[in-house]
């Protein structure tokens, strides 16, 4: 057996921690590198539009006609390019990653990642109201998935690697390695397990190291150091901030869904052109809505923006992002959610400062709380939002009011407005479901290679006693019966042993002397008394979830595990039964 085969068999279980950690680290470097290249591409692309990539006020200082034409023409170009692609290759972003995780075992097509890189970059460079984090997650996840697919690793391992790529992407974009880990576990993997944590942590660290080497140690936002709650009397007001953030997030999710439904039958180029034109029209009066807008976010955090600017930027960004996201521009929603949260928090902070000048905290404090609240409510990722809040501020004082506001925001979205997360809504509109039962969640995390029995022998259904004796020499547990070189049924080896012993004893009673003719006589293994069962085939890369589903569909209770070798031959590695799968679930749930 080759080294790569041993690697695949080991990774099929859930205890190959050291090996997964090493591969996760490699994936983190690849994912971080892809995100750095994407950021460099989008920033250098600004030169193509005759703007200064080193300026934080590019769009604000543009002439009004330029602000109108830039996103309009950019939307048209992106749409015309998308129109030439097959529908399956247009699927990009975090919702695409979630779909491939739920329905394709984490296998992300490289073509879609290439589309995300080029067209997502052009979308951002043309000033559309989208973020780069969503495309970054897609690129990071696709990089890690590519490693798993190239090595033909078990699907449970590939799923973990996708989580590694996601964590490294978040870490590389925000310089927040802990938030990257939590985001990957909460949104992409949707489970917390040590076997996943260790490789994802290493990948996230790798992403942070790479981005610090290229862009420096600074975080994405210029967070002031004086963030602190002034009085416990502010807590009711933070409840109000959380409520406002939840209402705002719900309106955003519902309105985006409505735009998506209205435009479902529109040509792709028309969607993107309308989106770009809408951004351009809004940007004539509110230039802050264009692009990623981190300069405006930093202004809100520093308390430099007037209430009027905060309110206009909030409303303008909401409308622009609803249109861009609803009309399927290939960009992300995390950046806009942070922008809108900062503006909302800034508005609430200014109002609170006017009403309660002696009790209210610094305006930037509310902007930071608003960022985490809206992000957590839109994505329904409260823990990831809280960790991002902590890492971005490096200030534990913000956790107490932040927890309160984030939880209230999520409750408003889920309980009051009965809304799913932004990405779940996208998938629901396409007839897809992210919900997974606890049983399947466990089975999905374990590869068939780690559970199957390798104690097997193969015999043709018509075999001689000598051939049977050789096959049973190593005392296998199972016998695979072949007909025309295809596996047809599974036998318990002990049944065959018992039959041969009874046959030999019977022959001894009838003929005391050995009969060579009897040894050459062919035995039909499909007709002897034995416990036989039909079985399906499953690849070595499959998870227990895939195996169980295939057994259910075929109404069978066993499967043989195979892999196609380089020369096109089917190599059998072992067998697995329904009982083995059930036992594995029970074992994994024990404390």
Which whole number is the average pLDDT over 108-125?
95
Domain with 205, as residue range(s), is 3-215
135 shares a domain with 90: yes
Question: Does 1 score more than 90 pLDDT?
Answer: no
Q: Which two tokens stand for residue 583?
A: 């036992």
Pick from 23-27, 50-54, 395-399, 514-518: least confident: 50-54
Which whole number is the average pLDDT over 545-552?
93
- Cα 491 from Cα 471, distance rounded (Å): 13
Q: Which of 438, 469, 499 is the last residue of a domain?
A: 438
Q: Are 346 and 304 in contact (CB under 8 A)?
A: no
199 shares a domain with 296: no
471 shares a domain with 426: no
Cα maximum dimension of the chain: 110
Question: Does 591 score more than 60 pLDDT?
Answer: no
Q: Are 448 and 154 in contact (CB under 8 A)?
A: yes
- Confirm whether 241 is domain-assigned: yes
Interval 10-19: pLDDT, tens: 665 555 778 8
Q: In what order do the strands lie in the sheet with 558-564?
A: 536-539, 558-564, 570-577
116 shares a domain with 92: yes
Interval 150-167: pLDDT, tens: 988 889 899 999 999 999
Looking up residue 67, the CATH number of its domain turns out to be: 1.10.3080.10
Interval 570-588: pLDDT, tens: 899 999 999 999 887 666 5
Q: Are 339 and 298 in contact (CB under 8 A)?
A: no
- Confirm whether 293 is domain-assigned: yes
568 shares a domain with 431: no
Which whole number is the average pLDDT over 336-349?
96
**What is the overall mean pLDDT for the chain?**
89
- Confirm whether 24 is domain-assigned: yes
281 SS3 class: helix
Nearest in space to 391 (alpha carbons), one of 564, 581, 220: 220
159 shares a domain with 33: yes
More confident: 411 or 396: 411
Q: Which two tokens stand for residue 496?
A: 């065959």
- Cα 331 from Cα 118, distance rounded (Å): 11
Q: In what order do the strands lie in the sheet with 532-533?
A: 456-460, 478-483, 486-492, 532-533
Q: What is the pTM of this model?
A: 0.89
Interval 217-238: pLDDT, tens: 876 788 877 677 777 888 899 9
Which whole number is the average pLDDT over 29-58?
72
Interval 458-475: pLDDT, tens: 999 999 999 999 999 999
pLDDT at 373: 97
- Confirm whether 226 is domain-assigned: no
Q: Which of 371, 403, 438 is the last residue of a domain?
A: 438
pLDDT at 233: 81
| Length of the chain as a residue count | 591
Nearest in space to 337 (alpha carbons), one of 384, 284, 302: 384
pLDDT at 54: 43
- Confirm whether 223 is domain-assigned: no
What is the number of H-type helices and E-type strands within the chain?
25, 9
Q: Are 130 and 325 in contact (CB under 8 A)?
A: yes
Question: Does 51 score more than 60 pLDDT?
Answer: no
282 shares a domain with 135: no
Q: How many domains does the chain have?
A: 3
Interval 397-428: pLDDT, tens: 888 899 999 999 999 999 999 999 999 999 99
Interval 307-319: pLDDT, tens: 999 999 999 999 9
């Amino acid at each position: 057996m080759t080294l790569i085969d041993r690697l695949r068999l080991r990774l099929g279980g859930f205890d190959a921690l050291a090996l997964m950690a090493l591969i996760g680290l490699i994936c983190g470097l690849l994912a971080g590198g892809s995100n750095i290249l994407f950021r460099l591409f989008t920033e250098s692309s600004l030169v193509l539009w005759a703007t200064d990539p080193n300026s934080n006020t590019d769009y604000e200082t543009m002439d009004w006609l330029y602000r109108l034409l830039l996103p309009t023409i950019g939307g048209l170009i992106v749409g015309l390019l998308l129109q030439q692609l097959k529908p399956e290759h247009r699927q990009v972003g975090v919702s695409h990653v979630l779909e491939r995780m739920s329905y394709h075992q984490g296998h992300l097509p490289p073509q879609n990642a290439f589309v995300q890189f080029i067209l997502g970059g052009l979308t951002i460079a043309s000033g559309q109201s989208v973020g780069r984090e969503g495309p970054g997650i897609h690129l990071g996840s696709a990089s890690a998935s590519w490693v798993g697919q190239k090595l033909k690793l078990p699907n449970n391992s590939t799923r973990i690697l996708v989580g590694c790529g996601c964590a490294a992407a978040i870490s590389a974009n925000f310089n927040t390695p802990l938030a990257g880990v939590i985001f990957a576990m909460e949104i992409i993997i949707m489970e917390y397990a040590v076997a996943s944590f260790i490789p994802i942590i290493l990948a996230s660290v790798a992403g942070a190291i790479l981005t610090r080497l290229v862009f420096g140690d600074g975080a994405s936002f210029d967070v002031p150091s004086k963030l602190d709650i002034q009085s416990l009397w502010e807590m009711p007001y933070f409840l109000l901030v959380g409520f406002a953030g939840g209402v705002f997030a719900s309106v955003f999710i519902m309105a985006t869904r409505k735009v998506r439904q209205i435009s479902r039958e529109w040509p792709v180029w028309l969607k993107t052109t309308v989106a770009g034109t809408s951004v351009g029209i809004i940007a004539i009066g509110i230039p802050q809505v264009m692009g990623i807008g981190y300069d405006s976010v930093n202004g809100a955090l520093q308390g430099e923006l007037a209430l009027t600017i905060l309110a206009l930027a909030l409303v303008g960004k909401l409308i622009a992002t609803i249109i861009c996201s609803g009309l399927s521009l290939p960009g992300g929603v995390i950046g806009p959610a942070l922008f809108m949260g900062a503006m909302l928090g800034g508005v609430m902070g200014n109002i609170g400062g006017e009403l309660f000048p002696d009790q209210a905290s610094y305006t930037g404090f509310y902007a930071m709380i608003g960022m985490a609240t809206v992000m957590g409510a839109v994505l329904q990722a409260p823990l990831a939002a809280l960790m991002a809040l902590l890492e971005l501020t490096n200030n534990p004082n913000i956790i107490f009011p932040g927890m309160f506001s984030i939880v209230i925001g999520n409750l408003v979205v889920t309980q009051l407005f009965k809304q799913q997360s932004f990405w779940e809504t996208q998938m629901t509109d396409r007839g897809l479901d992210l919900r997974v039962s606890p049983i399947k969640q466990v089975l999905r995390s374990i590869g068939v290679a780690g559970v199957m029995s390798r104690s097997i022998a193969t015999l043709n259904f018509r075999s001689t006693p000598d051939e049977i004796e050789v096959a049973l020499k190593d005392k296998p547990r199972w016998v695979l019966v072949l007909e025309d070189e295809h596996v047809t049924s599974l036998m318990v080896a002990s049944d065959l042993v018992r039959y041969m012993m009874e046959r030999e004893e019977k022959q001894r009673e009838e003929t005391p002397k050995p009969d060579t003719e009897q040894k050459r006589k062919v035995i039909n293994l499909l007709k002897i008394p034995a416990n036989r069962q039909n079985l399906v085939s499953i690849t070595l890369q499959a998870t227990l979830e895939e195996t169980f589903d295939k057994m259910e569909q075929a109404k069978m209770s066993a499967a043989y595990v195979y892999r196609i070798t380089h020369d096109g031959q089917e190599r059998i590695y072992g067998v697995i039964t329904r009982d083995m799968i059930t036992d594995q679930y029970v074992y994994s749930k024990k404390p």
